[in-house]
Structure 1
Amino acid sequence: MINQKSIVVLPLENLSSDLENEYFSDGMTEEIIAALSKVKGLKVAAKTSSFAFKEIKKDVRHIGNELGVSLVLEGSVRKFGDQVRITTQLIRTDNGFQIWSENFNRKLDDIFALQDEISLLVAERIRENYGHLELDEHLVTPSTESIDAYDTFLKAKFFLKRWNLKDIQKGALLFEQSAKLDPAFEMSLFGAGLCYSLLGSWGAMEKEYAFKRAESYFQKGGEGQRPKSVYAYHSLATHEFWGLWDYHAANKLILEALKMDPYEPDVHECLAELLTALGDFDAALSSINTSIQHNPLSPNHFYTRANIYYQQKQYDLAQSDLNKSLEIDPDFALSIQLKLACCIQQHNLEALKKLIDSRTDLKHPAQYLMLFHLTHGDEVIKESAVRAMIEKLGEVQPRPLMAYDLYLMAQISSTEALDMLKMKLSMQMGQVVFFKHENFLTPLRTDQEYQKLVSQYFPDDQLEHPEILQNATSKSLMAAAEVNHYTDILEDLMQNEHQYLDTSLTLRTLADTINLHPNKLSWLLNERLEKNFNDYVNSYRLKDFQRKAIDPQYSHLTLLGLAYESGFTSKSVFNEFFRKNTGVTPKAWLKKQKAN
C-alpha cells in the first residue's frame, strides 16, 4: 500500500532561452528534494529516482506506482538576467488531480528564500490533505551569501552527478571556482574534496597530488569544526573508505551522517560498500535495501546489491539486479563490467559472447573470452597471449573499473599475481577494494602470503552498525485541557462564524486566527479529532451544502453552484468528498431527499 505522505519532485523543466541553464533547473529540483527530505514522516523519492524521469513524459499514475508515492510535484524554471520564474503543480498519483499550483517570480538574490517558500508550501499542502507533519519554520537556510558562488556550485554538481571521470574533473574545477568566490562555502569545499578523492582513488590523477588537494579542501570545509551537512559527512566517508581504506574512520563518519538523516540512500550505499569489502554481507544487504527502498531507480544501488550477491557466488541474483540497473541506465559501466564477470563465473559462454557483441565501447574485448577459458579450462590459451593481454590492460587509461589484468595473472601464475595484488593494494586502488572475496582470486586463497594480505588490510573487530529509527508514535503536543479549549474554539469558528466558507482558508491561516502554532493545530486535528485539515473543513462544507440543497431559497443554483456557495473550490474535490462520505453522488442524494 502506498504511503499517503509521500512525494517525488520531478526535474523542473528548463524554459530558459539558454539551454546551458539546465544545471540551474536541475539544481532547483535537488534543493527542493533536499528541503522536503528534512520533514520527518514525509517519504521523499531520492534525486536519482526523480531524475530517471527527466525528459520522459509519463502519466503520473504510472510514476506513483513505480516509486510508491502518492504525490508528484512538477513544474518549470525560467532564468533570465537576475530574475527567475518558477511554476509548480502538486498532483495526486491515484487520479491525476491537481491539488495545488503556484507561480513564483523573484530576483536571483532571493533564491534561497524562494526554495524555502516553495518547500514549505508543498509540505503544508501535504499535511492539509494527508495528515500530521511537524514543520520547522524554515526548510532551507542560505548556504552562501554569494549568488555567483552558488550558481557555480550548481554547475559543479551537474557534472559530478554524471559519474564519469572526465566530468568529475570538470566538476572539481567548478567547485574550486565556487570556493574562490566564497571561501566559507562548505558545500563547494567538500565537493572539491570529493572530486579529487575520486580522481585519485580511480587512477584518473596522480594519487598523492589528488589526495593532497582533497584533504586540503576537506580541512578548509571543516575549519576544525564538525561538518554541518550529510553531504559533508558522506564526502569524508567516501574519501576514508575508497581513498584511504580506513574502515573504522569511514564507518564513524557514516554513523554521524545517519544521525542527521537515517535513510539517506547514498550514505547507506557507502555503508553497504564498506561492509561488502569486509565480508559482512547480511548487514550490507540490509543497508543497500534501505537505499533501494528510498531510491528505487538508482542504477548504482542495484549494482551495489548485485556486487554483494556476486561476492557470495549468488550469480543469478546478481544478474537480476544488474539487469534492473541496466534497464535504468543501459550504459552504466560498473554494471556492464560486473555482468561480464557473472557470465564468466556462470560458465555461460553464449551469454558472454552476446553481451560482448552488444557493446562496441569495450576495450580489448578478447580479455573476457580469454579469462572465461582460463577459468574453466575448456580451451588451451597460450601463456604468451595472456601476458600480452595483461600488458595491454596495464596501459589503459583511465584504469579499467575491474582488475581483469590481475584476474588473468591469477590463472597462470600465483606468485606473479600476488606481486601484482600487493602492488595494487599498496596503491589502495579502488579496483581491488573487494579482493577479500573476489572469486577470480580463488587460486591464491590457500597461499600464506594472500592470507597475510587479508589480515593486513581488513580489521578483525566488528564495526558498529547504525540503529535505524522506526517511525515513533506521535508524541503529545498539547495537554488535555489545551486540547479541550482549542477544540471548543474550532467548533465555534466553524458552526457559528462559518469559517469554512473562506475559500482561501489554510491550516496556517486558521492557526493564526486561533493563535495556535500550526504544528499543534495539525496534531490536534489528526491525532485528537482524527481528521486531516481538508477533511475537517470539508465536513462542515458538506453539511452546509446538504442544508442549502434542500432549502427552497437556493433552488435557483445548480449542484456545483451550491458546492461553491458552501466553500468548495473544485468540482472534483467536491464530488469525491461527497461520495466518500455518503456513498452516493450529490445528484442521487438530492433525489432521495426529495423523495422522502
Structure 2
Amino acid sequence: MRIAVELIKSGDGASVWSETYDRELKDIFAVQSEIAGAVAKQLKVALLGNNGQAAQLAAAATPQNIEAYNALLQGNFHFYLRTADDFRKAIGYYEEAIRLDPRYALAYAKLTPPAVNLVTGFGHIATKEKEEAMAKARASAKSALALDPNLSEAHLAQALILELLDLNLAGAEAEYRRALELAPQNPHTINDLAILMAELARLDEAVALAQRAIALDPLRSTFHYALAHFLVALGRYDQAEATLRKAIELQPTSAQAYAELAIIQILRGNPGAAAELAKQETDPFWRTYALALAQSANGDGAEADAALKRLIEEIADESDSQIASVYALRKEPDKMFEWLEHACNTHDSGANELLSDPFLRAYKDDPRFIAFAQKIGVMPKTAPKP
C-alpha cells in the first residue's frame, strides 16, 4: 500500500510539505497515527494540549482489529443515509465492530446516534423495537464513556441521550461542551450544539455556532440548512433564503431546503409562491408538510383541509410536531397542543423546536405553551415566557 500526503498553501497552491508512505495494509492504524503526527508537526499545531495528549487520545480511539474498523466504516455509511432500515444496518455493523474488538470505545459511541434516531424519528416503529433501541443507546453511551472518558464522541453520545430521551437539555449542553473541549475543531459537534442552542431559544448563539461549523466544513449542505433555520426563527428571511440557496447548490437533492424556502414565503405573505416551492421539495415527507402549510396559508378551506388530511394519513406516525405546526398556522390551538402532546409521548424530536418554530411561537402567551415548554425541558420552570 502506498499513501502520498501533501500540504499545500491555499493561497497560491505552493507545496509546503509532502511525504510518501509504503506500508503493509495490516499496519494501517500505525500509518494513520504516523501521518497524523507528521502533519501536526509540520503545521506546528498543538491539539488538545502538549506532551502528546492528542496522540494518546487518538491511540485510545483506534482499534487493534482492521475488521472492526471496516465494520465501523460500513456503519458510518449506513448512518448517513438516515432511513430506518439504514439506522438498523448501522447498529448491526457497530455491534459487529464491538464483537470483533470489545474495547473499541468509538464503536460504542457511534452506536448511540442511530439507536436514538430510531426512537425519535420514526413513529411507526413498534414499541418493543423502540424500547430495545433506547436500551442499546443508553448502554453503548455508558460503555463508551467507561472505556474512554476522553473520547469526544462518547460525550456526544451521552449528550444525545440527555437531549432527546431524558429531556435534560442543561445536562446535554454540558456534554456537548465537553465534547468540544476534547475536539474543538469538529464541525459536527459544533453544529449539534448550535441546534441545542436554538431549542433553548438562544438563537444568536446558534447562528454563531452554525457559522463556525460552516467555516470548518463549507461544503456540508446540512450545516447551511441549519443556519438558515435559525435565521428564519430570527426573522432574517433574506439571509436565510440566500443560505438555503447555497445548501441547494451544494446538494440539489438536499431534504427540507425547499420546504424551508416555502416557509419563508408564507412568513412574507406569499402563499402562492410557497406552494410552488413546496412542489420542488425533493423529500416526500417534507413536500407533503410544506404543501399542507402553503395551502393553509392560502386560505382555501377545501384545499387546505385536503392537504392536512394527506399529511395526517400519509405520515402522521412520523410528523406529530409538523402536524402541530400546521394547526398553529390554521389558528386551531387546541388541535395544536393535542398533537404536541402526542409528539412528546412518541419521543418526536421535532417537539424540541417549540421555541424556534415561527408558527408554534405565535402561541407563546398561552399558558399551555409555557407548561409544555417546561415539560419538555426547553424552558426552565422558573423562566418567564419567551
TM-score by length of 2: 0.84
Q: Residue 127 of structure 1: CA displacement?
A: 4.6
1:283 aligned to which of 198, 205, 209? 205
Q: 1:437 and 1:395 mapped to 2: Cα distance? A: 21
Aligned length: 371
| Equivalent of residue 152 in structure 1, options 59, 63, 71 | 71
Q: How does 1:549-564 map to 2 (within 5 A)?
A: none
Task: Give how far 1:390 is off.
Answer: 4.1
Q: What secondary structure, in the 3-state scheme, does the structure 2 residue paired with 1:332 have?
A: coil
Residues 2 and 22 in structure 2, CA contact (< 8 A), matched pair in contact too: yes
**Structure 2 CA distance for partners of 1:364 and 1:215, relative to 1, 3 Å:** closer
Per the alignment, residue 194 of structure 2 pairs with 272
Find the aligned partners of 1:237 and 1:117 in 2 and give their Cα distance: 31
Structure 1 distance, partners of 2:285, 2:193, is: 31
Tell me how far apart the structure 2 counterparts of residues 429 and 116 of structure 1 sit (CA, whole Å): 40
Aligned in 2, Cα 1:111/1:279: closer, same or farther, shift over 3 Å? Answer: same
Name the residue aligned to 2:137.
214
Give the corresponding residue for 2:4: 87
In proportion to residue count, which structure has more helix?
2
Going from structure 1 to structure 2, the CA distance change for 1:436 and 1:364 (only over 3 Å counts) comes to closer
**Distance between the aligned counterparts of 1:212 and 1:363, measured in 2?**
28
Q: Is the 8 A contact 2:255 2:286 kept in 1?
A: no
Structure 2 counterpart of 1:39: none
Q: Distance in 2 between matches of 1:412 and 1:459?
A: 23
Confirm or deny that 1:381 pairs with 2:298: no
What per-residue deviation string (whole Å, max 9, x for no partner) do you get for residues 456-475 of structure 1? Answer: 23332899xxxxxxxxxxxx
- 1:459 paired with 2:379, answer yes
**Structure 1: which amino acid aligns with 2:122?**
G
Query: Counterpart of 1:115?
Result: 32
3-state SS in 2 of match to 1:90: strand
Q: Specify the alignment match of 2:274 in structure 1.
A: 352
Query: Within 5 A, what are the aligned runs for 1:129-168?
Result: 136=52, 139=55, 140-141=58-59, 143-168=62-87
Aligned to 2:359, the other structure's residue is in SS state helix
- For residue 268 of structure 1, what is the amino acid of its counterpart? I
| C-alpha RMSD of the superposition | 3.1
For the 8 Å contact 2:295–2:307, the answer to whether it is kept is no
SS at match of 1:113: helix
Matches within 5 A, 1:161-560: 161-203=80-122, 205-206=125-126, 207-223=130-146, 227-349=149-271, 351-359=273-281, 361-363=283-285, 365=287, 368-375=290-297, 377=299, 379-381=300-302, 385=306, 388-395=309-316, 399-400=318-319, 403-410=321-328, 411=330, 413-442=332-361, 444-457=363-376, 458-460=378-380
C-alpha contact 2:256 2:286 (8 A) present in aligned 1: no
Q: Secondary structure of the residue that 1:258 maps to in structure 2?
A: helix
CA distance in 2, matches of 1:282, 1:359: 28
Q: In the TM superposition, what whole-angstrom CA distance separates every residue of 1:245-285 from its partner, at most 9, and x where no partner exists?
A: 21011011112112223343222212211111111112222
| Per-residue CA distance 1:344-386 (angstroms, 9 max, x = gap) | 2223345434434434653595653442242353x34367535
Partner of 1:25: none
Contact 2:288 2:311 in 1 (8 A): no
Relative distance call for 1:252 and 1:370 in structure 2 (3 A) is: closer
Deviation at 1:234, TM superposition (A): 1.4
With over 3 angstroms needed to count, the CA separation of the structure-2 counterparts of 1:154 and 1:419, relative to structure 1, is same
Letter paired with 1:214: A
Distance 1:386 1:355 in 2: 15
**Cα separation, partners in 2 of 1:312 and 1:90, compared to 1, 3 Å:** closer
Change (3 A) 1:266 1:442: closer
Displacement of 1:395 in angstroms is: 4.6
Greater shift, 168-177 or 443-452, is seen at 443-452
Secondary structure of 1:262 counterpart: coil
Q: Name the SS of the counterpart of 1:324 in structure 2.
A: helix
2:306 counterpart letter in structure 1: A
Question: In the TM superposition, what whole-angstrom CA distance separates every residue of 1:267-316 from its partner, at most 9, and x where no partner exists?
Answer: 22122111111111122222222222222222222222111112223222
Q: Is the 8 A contact 2:295 2:304 kept in 1?
A: no
CA contact 2:254–2:282 (8 Å) conserved in 1:
no
- Output the CA distance in 2 between the equivalents of 1:288 and 1:162: 22
3-state SS in 1 of match to 2:380: coil
Gap change, CA 1:445 and 1:145, over 3 Å in 2: same
- Displacement of 1:215 in angstroms is 1.0
Counterpart residue identity of residue 209, structure 1: E
Letter in 2 for 1:98: S
CA distance in 1 between partners of 2:115 and 2:95 (Å): 11
Counterparts in 2 of 1:331 and 1:384: CA distance versus 1, 3 Å: closer
Q: CA deviation at 1:432?
A: 1.9
Q: Cα 1:352–1:214, aligned 2, differ >3 Å: closer, same or farther?
A: same
Structure 1 residue 211: Cα displacement: 1.0
